Chains A and B, each alone.
Chain A
């Protein structure tokens, strides 16, 4: 098969099938999960089909013109890095959907569930294969939106809704918009949205790094990535996202979506890395986050919450390692990061699936209520132990290897930075490792070891069926396989992915036993300290609880709730300052600003032009009309009752219609007279309902103020008109020449007014009739709502 076609199919098959899901669900009922899983499998196999090409070191790049006027193409760009994430998305997606067929009760709205998951899978694959930053952004936001839908899957649970909103605000709102701005800045610097173009062009990369906007661009793109991967202050959305069904958490919030931010960091790595800003931002955020999140994980009693914090901490490892690339060999950190990215996806998804199994069978996820299940759930126990020990970094599992590489990279970067970093960075790394070790052991100990907690557990607990165990077992098998034979993932997955980041071919050698090295010593220290910390586990958790009770404001969540929880109230307070009510209050600033902006230039002009000579020659019949206009205007202002005043205004309008006839503008005259007729009728209809005289007594000062405003407006307009008609202000070139010349030629119409309305400026007219439409609806609503209030 044509390779680009395979890629496009892998992206759009899930989207296409997602549309069909509700209809298929009516036919196959709850078996819909298997059909959806099949789509995941097909996408996965399509990617397998293209992988030999990528392993050989080729890239697939194919694009079609999409919005050529701004240089946006729709294209695919497949290299090792994007293929790695796409494999995770489709492969784990397949396992998750198969697992869900058993996990999700048949009473749930399964069509919606699988629809969202397929949409997410398609968006994720589309995001990583996007060859264009705009396209990347669109798919990026799609993953945020589908994640929002999945977190809020149980719509009736307030916590679900809260978690869904939080993730949407932070990832799609903060992160997504920052990313978009960053993309636009990048385009401003380079002049292109095309990712391969920037990656391939060395001079462009130099240009970016030396540009004034470099820091801002990097910062905004980094914010996007950090929000998505729950790094730095944005971590707070991930624990609340655990309200999603557990398979969703395994899929989105451990293996794939949170990896999108890391993918982005990897993607822009060749563009931004090698600078101090990159090191401080990416590695700095990673180092702080890994320790803080690891520490907070100790306090969690919900296993899913614990896994959420551990995910944040583990993602921070990867983030830090991508950041470790300033001065020395960049490949060390990148290899370690990419390898850990793969390993984390495998062992963390395993653990989430195990949590799902435990919650499904034992009906609780609270670590205090669980315990001693090893005999009843032996297979689950073994799989969980593999996952947890891999996370803890115990040999011979894959987590051990990437942890070793993490230590090695930390020592390396520390050494290249010199004092005091040569000690500080390895120390932070070890602390994070110790915390990881402690909570990993807690998962095994809390659920499976110790005494059975008969009080809270059902009488009979047993291993689930093969459908739920299978996916977890497959992942656990991969964990072991990649640990014992690291050359398999290295040569088939990591090498292509890394060469996609550092843009060079690379050959990595890795083996389980690599001699007595500094990092091995660090691992031994980690295990030793980890056991000590584990003994104090409960004490630390209690201390954290106490601290939180004493200082409730010392928490990011507190500020999040303050800002977003009260958003509607605060918006109301602010808008009430502007939306005061009486129309006079709005008119005043509008008129004032309009007048002042004209009055000053006019006065300056008058001073410059003095003395001015005027020419007031007017035919007598026009003079009569003008005198009548003035008379009616004055009458309208001073008559103290409504009906005569309205009639005066309408007479004024008709007279202006006559002026249009003098000016040889029949269209305007007809319109003016007709519109005047209608307004008069409506006016009369309205005032027949209200008292015929003005009862309202206007205070003196307001009256004077309003007279002053009116006089200013009138005199300004008078001056403008005077200067314009007397030719004192240099007239602009009339636009009518163009229309006179082109009207018949282009449109065949002789009436230029109409031709302008329906041809040259027809978009304006369309806007105007929309206004009429909205005005009609507005009047309806006003009258309607008033009727209801009665």
Chain B
């Protein structure tokens, strides 16, 4: 499927998808989205990249070790849980506050975002790791 059409479309769509995925992650607490959806979105975008340019060709430019992502993500999520114990609360308890930022106005900041980033990374890493391994096979 490494045709010019898919490649051209992919060049436009993939950055948009990545951008959208990050936006889904960050706004997930208040609007549709979140770490899981954002992660799947990201994985889909990268798999589109792999398909339209071919696994071997894309590896020349862009070849992360996805296992690091899910390993680090799991670590982050667990650390977020244990962090709340250290802070004196139950496991995975979250807290939030409101920040006043220029341009954005009042923004809600929740400690759950750390855990959500962990989920995000595990989903990306897990899916793309499987995807790449199957593609290589």
Question: Closest CB-CB distance, A745 to chain B, in whole Å?
Answer: 11
| A366 interfacial contact with B, CB 8 Å | no
Q: Interface size class for chain A?
A: 35 or more
| A542 interfacial contact with B, CB 8 Å | no
Question: Whole-angstrom distance between the alpha carbons of A511 and B105 in the complex?
Answer: 93
Residues in B neighbouring A773, C-beta threshold 8 A = 70-71, 74, 122, 126
The one of A685, A751, A783 in contact with B29, judged by C-beta atoms closer than 8 angstroms, is A751
From known contacts A674-B40, A678-B44, A776-B126, infer whether A751 and B115 are also in contact, taking CB-CB under 8 Å.
Answer: no
| B22 interfacial contact with A, CB 8 Å | no
Within 8 A of B (CB), among A660-700: 666-667, 670-671, 674-675, 677-678, 681-682, 685-686
The one of A681, A759, A769, A787 in contact with B112, judged by C-beta atoms closer than 8 angstroms, is A759
From known contacts A681-B47, A749-B30, infer whether A667 and B37 are also in contact, taking CB-CB under 8 Å.
Answer: yes
Contact with A along B21-41 (1 / 0, CB 8 A): 000100011111111110011
Task: Determine if B110 and A757 form an interchain contact, defined as CB atoms under 8 angstroms apart.
Answer: no
| B91 interfacial contact with A, CB 8 Å | yes
| A213 interfacial contact with B, CB 8 Å | no
| A715 interfacial contact with B, CB 8 Å | no
The one of A667, A759, A775 in contact with B32, judged by C-beta atoms closer than 8 angstroms, is A667
Residues in B neighbouring A590, C-beta threshold 8 A = none
Within 8 A of A (CB), among B93-115: 94, 96-98, 108, 110, 112, 115
From known contacts A747-B112, A773-B126, infer whether A779 and B134 are also in contact, taking CB-CB under 8 Å.
Answer: yes
Scoring A751, A780, A783 by chain B CB atoms within 10 A of each residue's CB, the highest score goes to: A751
Contact with B along A770-782 (1 / 0, CB 8 A): 1011011001100
Contact with B along A747-766 (1 / 0, CB 8 A): 11111011101110011011
From known contacts A667-B33, A776-B67, infer whether A748 and B78 are also in contact, taking CB-CB under 8 Å.
Answer: no
Task: Determine if A779 and B133 form an interchain contact, defined as CB atoms under 8 angstroms apart.
Answer: yes
Task: Determine if A682 and B29 form an interchain contact, defined as CB atoms under 8 angstroms apart.
Answer: no
Task: Determine if B130 and A775 form an interchain contact, defined as CB atoms under 8 angstroms apart.
Answer: yes
Nearest B-chain residue to A782, judged by Cβ: B133
Residues in A neighbouring B67, C-beta threshold 8 A = 776, 780
The one of B91, B127, B129 in contact with A780, judged by C-beta atoms closer than 8 angstroms, is B129
Question: Whole-angstrom distance between the alpha carbons of A675 and B36 in the complex?
Answer: 10
Residues in B neighbouring A682, C-beta threshold 8 A = 130-131, 134
Task: Determine if B29 and A755 form an interchain contact, defined as CB atoms under 8 angstroms apart.
Answer: yes
Task: Determine if A769 and B77 form an interchain contact, defined as CB atoms under 8 angstroms apart.
Answer: yes
Task: Determine if B119 and A765 form an interchain contact, defined as CB atoms under 8 angstroms apart.
Answer: yes
Task: Determine if B130 and A779 form an interchain contact, defined as CB atoms under 8 angstroms apart.
Answer: yes
Residues in A neighbouring B131, C-beta threshold 8 A = 678, 681-682, 685
Residues in B neighbouring A766, C-beta threshold 8 A = 77-78, 81, 92, 115
Residues in A neighbouring B96, C-beta threshold 8 A = 747-749
Task: Determine if A772 and B134 form an interchain contact, defined as CB atoms under 8 angstroms apart.
Answer: no
Question: Closest CB-CB distance, A780 to chain B, in whole Å?
Answer: 6
The one of A677, A750, A769, A775 in contact with B118, judged by C-beta atoms closer than 8 angstroms, is A769
Question: Closest CB-CB distance, B70 to chain A, in whole Å?
Answer: 5
Question: Whole-angstrom distance between the alpha carbons of A520 and B132 in the complex?
Answer: 87
Task: Determine if A753 and B133 form an interchain contact, defined as CB atoms under 8 angstroms apart.
Answer: no
Question: Whole-angstrom distance between the alpha carbons of A758 and B122 in the complex?
Answer: 14
Task: Determine if B44 and A674 form an interchain contact, defined as CB atoms under 8 angstroms apart.
Answer: yes
Within 8 A of A (CB), among B59-98: 67, 70-71, 73-74, 77-78, 81, 91-92, 94, 96-98
From known contacts A773-B122, A775-B126, infer whether A681 and B91 are also in contact, taking CB-CB under 8 Å.
Answer: no
Task: Determine if A678 and B43 form an interchain contact, defined as CB atoms under 8 angstroms apart.
Answer: yes
Task: Determine if B94 and A754 form an interchain contact, defined as CB atoms under 8 angstroms apart.
Answer: no
Task: Determine if B129 and A686 form an interchain contact, defined as CB atoms under 8 angstroms apart.
Answer: no
Question: Whole-angstrom distance between the alpha carbons of A667 and B73 in the complex?
Answer: 22
Question: Whole-angstrom distance between the alpha carbons of A681 and B110 in the complex?
Answer: 35
From known contacts A751-B30, A772-B70, infer whether A758 and B115 are also in contact, taking CB-CB under 8 Å.
Answer: yes
| B135 interfacial contact with A, CB 8 Å | yes
Task: Determine if A763 and B91 form an interchain contact, defined as CB atoms under 8 angstroms apart.
Answer: yes
| B51 interfacial contact with A, CB 8 Å | yes
Question: Whole-angstrom distance between the alpha carbons of A667 and B24 in the complex?
Answer: 10
Nearest A-chain residue to B42, judged by Cβ: A674
Residues in A neighbouring B44, C-beta threshold 8 A = 674, 677-678, 681
Task: Determine if A667 and B34 form an interchain contact, defined as CB atoms under 8 angstroms apart.
Answer: yes
The one of B33, B34, B92, B123 in contact with A769, judged by C-beta atoms closer than 8 angstroms, is B123
Residues in A neighbouring B33, C-beta threshold 8 A = 667, 670, 751, 754
Within 8 A of B (CB), among A34-75: none
Question: Whole-angstrom distance between the alpha carbons of A286 and B13 in the complex?
Answer: 82
Question: Whole-angstrom distance between the alpha carbons of A294 and B56 in the complex?
Answer: 76
Contact with B along A76-100 (1 / 0, CB 8 A): 0000000000000000000000000
Question: Whole-angstrom distance between the alpha carbons of A779 and B96 in the complex?
Answer: 38
Question: Whole-angstrom distance between the alpha carbons of A681 and B135 in the complex?
Answer: 10
Residues in A neighbouring B91, C-beta threshold 8 A = 763
Task: Determine if B133 and A783 form an interchain contact, defined as CB atoms under 8 angstroms apart.
Answer: yes
The one of A772, A779, A787 in contact with B123, judged by C-beta atoms closer than 8 angstroms, is A772
From known contacts A678-B47, A681-B47, A747-B94, infer whether A758 and B112 are also in contact, taking CB-CB under 8 Å.
Answer: yes
Given contacts A758-B112, A763-B91, 18 further A-B contacts (CB under 8 A): A674-B37, A674-B40, A675-B40, A678-B40, A748-B29, A751-B29, A754-B116, A758-B29, A763-B81, A769-B123, A770-B74, A772-B127, A773-B70, A773-B122, A776-B125, A779-B133, A780-B129, A783-B133
Q: Which residues of B contact A (CB under 8 A)?
A: 24, 28-37, 40-41, 43-44, 47, 51, 67, 70-71, 73-74, 77-78, 81, 91-92, 94, 96-98, 108, 110, 112, 115-116, 118-119, 122-123, 125-127, 129-131, 133-135, 137
Q: Which residues of A contact B (CB under 8 A)?
A: 666-667, 670-671, 674-675, 677-678, 681-682, 685-686, 747-751, 753-755, 757-759, 762-763, 765-766, 769-770, 772-773, 775-776, 779-780, 783, 787
Give 14 A-B contacts (CB < 8 Å), ordered by A residue.
Answer: A670-B24, A670-B41, A747-B110, A750-B29, A754-B34, A754-B35, A757-B34, A769-B74, A769-B122, A772-B126, A773-B74, A773-B126, A775-B126, A779-B130
